């Protein structure tokens, strides 16, 4: 007794109208006489009719779903962006197909293709490295794709992020101004442009401004995990670093705890400035000073931008930079400013 699914045809028959009319009322088309509309609505209600979105997608060539490629949902930074994305998506009646990529280029390409095969109306990509193959896929796709919290050095893809280079530049400059000479730069993989071409570049700029020579020994390249940061303590003290700019909060929490556990107290003996201002910065002790960035908004704005692109609305600026700032918390000393 498999309950038969009720189709638009059933509704039409019951209501004594054509399916075109039913379709119209379902889609809020105004060209329907109020009386007719009510009649149809009643039948829909009675039959508990639910339009089949797949059929609708086939016929209209719109699925009202967008794909979201995320490195790892478990990473609070990306999860925060994802939340912004989903909220706005919902607001515009879109759903999100979420897939983890682990920043694996092959997987990213593959996932993008299945997303496109599913006819998503658009996609939002989060990831710190747009590989050439991926870039190629982006280019040949007619589906709008926007980057969120990520950068593509070629600046050819719509994106929403902050000015990473300037932010790091300013953040490091502040530490330098406070007298720290040995400020380490610890980040994720340097083959990711966001780390090499933006953050590291900003770091170098700050150094240059302060007239300090760039010392490669102070640059630490690791993965984004807490443990990786934690394990950095020895190496950090070995090169006499007395402060560090860290490219990720979880990573930063790791180096902070690693230092503290080794008896090098933060911030007294070692300052730390982290990058993402996730809630982790508040939970950890001492709390971490950080570059601030509107995480939720990056996602939200990216999604909003995507809606415009999907509707072929004109977009003034395809590469939006949201404002960043700084919060001074416990992992940094309170000298001037």
Partner DNA sequence: TCTATTATTGTAAGCGTTTGCAGATATTGC
Partner DNA sequence: GCAATATCTGCAAACGCTTACAATAATAGA
CB of 58 to a copy of itself, least distance (A): 5
Please tell me whether residue 140 binds DNA under the rule CB under 7 A. Answer: no
CA separation (Å) from 255 to 79, 194, 244, 318? 22, 20, 9, 36
Please tell me whether residue 16 binds DNA under the rule CB under 7 A. Answer: yes
CB of 283 to a copy of itself, least distance (A): 5
183 or 295: CB nearest a copy of itself: 295
Distance between CA atoms of residues 254 and 229, nearest Å: 4
Site of tokens 């989903």 = 86
Please tell me whether residue 210 binds DNA under the rule CB under 7 A. Answer: no
203 or 226: CB nearest a copy of itself: 226
CB of 185 to a copy of itself, least distance (A): 22
188 or 229: CB nearest a copy of itself: 229
Q: Count interface residues toward DNA (CB under 7 A).
A: 32
Out of DNA, a copy of itself, none, which partner does residue 28 contact, by CB within 5 to 8 A per kind?
none
116 or 322: CB nearest a copy of itself: 116
Site of tokens 């949902």 = 73
Question: Stretches 17-25, 99-107, 186-194, 276-284: which one binds DNA (CB under 7 A)?
Answer: 17-25
CA separation (Å) from 173 to 168, 322, 332, 335? 8, 21, 13, 13
Interacting residue with DNA among 13, 41, 47, 51 (CB under 7 A)? 51
Distance between CA atoms of residues 124 and 96, nearest Å: 10
Out of a copy of itself, DNA, none, which partner does residue 80 contact, by CB within 5 to 8 A per kind?
a copy of itself
Give the per-residue SS3 of 57-73: HHHHCCCCEEEEEECCC
17 or 68: CB nearest a copy of itself: 68
CB of 36 to a copy of itself, least distance (A): 23
73 or 315: CB nearest a copy of itself: 73
Distance between CA atoms of residues 299 and 265, nearest Å: 35
Out of DNA, a copy of itself, none, which partner does residue 90 contact, by CB within 5 to 8 A per kind?
a copy of itself
Out of DNA, a copy of itself, none, which partner does residue 142 contact, by CB within 5 to 8 A per kind?
a copy of itself
Interacting residue with DNA among 3, 45, 59, 216 (CB under 7 A)? 59
Please tell me whether residue 20 binds DNA under the rule CB under 7 A. Answer: yes
Q: Which residues bind a copy of itself (CB under 8 A)?
A: 2-3, 50-55, 57-58, 63, 65, 68, 72-74, 76, 79-80, 82-83, 86-87, 90, 95-100, 113-119, 142, 226, 250, 253-254, 257, 260, 279-280, 282-285
CB under 8 A, 24+ apart: contacts of 196-201: 197/153, 197/165, 198/151, 198/164, 198/165, 198/168, 199/164, 199/165, 199/168, 199/245, 199/247, 199/275, 201/165
Question: Stretches 16-24, 171-179, 196-204, 213-221: which one binds DNA (CB under 7 A)?
Answer: 16-24
Query: Residue 72, class by beta-carbon neighbours within 10 Å (0-12 exposed, 13-18 middle, 19+ buried)?
Result: middle
CB of 308 to a copy of itself, least distance (A): 19
Where do contacts with DNA occur on this chain (CB under 7 A)?
5, 7-9, 16-21, 23-24, 26-27, 30-37, 49-52, 55-56, 58-61
């Amino acid at each position: 007794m498999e309950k038969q699914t009720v189709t638009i045809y059933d509704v039409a028959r019951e209501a004594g109208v054509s399916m075109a009319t039913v379709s119209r009322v379902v889609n809020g088309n105004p060209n329907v006489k109020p009386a007719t509309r009510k009649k149809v609505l009643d039948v829909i209600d009675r039959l508990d009719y639910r339009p089949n979105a797949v059929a609708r997608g086939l016929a209209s060539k719109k699925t009202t779903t967008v794909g979201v490629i995320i490195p790892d949902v478990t990473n609070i930074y990306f999860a925060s962006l994802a939340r912004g994305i989903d909220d706005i998506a919902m607001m515009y009646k879109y759903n999100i197909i979420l897939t983890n990529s682990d920043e694996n280029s092959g997987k990213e390409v593959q996932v993008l293709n299945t997303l496109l095969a599913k006819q998503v109306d658009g996609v939002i990509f989060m990831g710190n490295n747009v590989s050439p193959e991926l870039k190629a896929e982006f280019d040949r796709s007619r589906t709008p794709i926007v980057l969120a919290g990520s950068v593509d050095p070629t600046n050819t893809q719509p994106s929403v992020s902050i000015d990473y280079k300037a932010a790091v530049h300013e953040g490091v400059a502040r530490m330098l101004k406070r007298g720290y000479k040995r400020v380490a730069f610890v980040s994720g993989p340097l083959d990711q442009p966001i780390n090499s071409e933006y953050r590291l570049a900003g770091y170098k700029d700050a150094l240059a401004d302060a007239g300090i020579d760039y010392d490669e020994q102070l640059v630490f390249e690791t993965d984004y995990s807490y443990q990786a940061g934690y394990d950095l303590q020895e190496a950090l003290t070995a090169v006499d670093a007395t402060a560090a700019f860290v490219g990720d909060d979880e990573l930063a929490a790791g180096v902070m705890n690693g230092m503290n556990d080794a008896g090098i107290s933060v911030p007294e003996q070692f300052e730390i400035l982290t990058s993402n201002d996730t809630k982790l910065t508040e939970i950890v002790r001492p709390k971490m000073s950080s570059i601030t960035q509107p995480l939720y908004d990056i996602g939200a704005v990216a999604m909003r931008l995507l809606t415009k692109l999907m509707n072929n609305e004109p977009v003034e600026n395809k590469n939006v930079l949201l404002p960043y700032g700084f919060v001074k918390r416990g992992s940094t000393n309170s000298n001037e400013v």
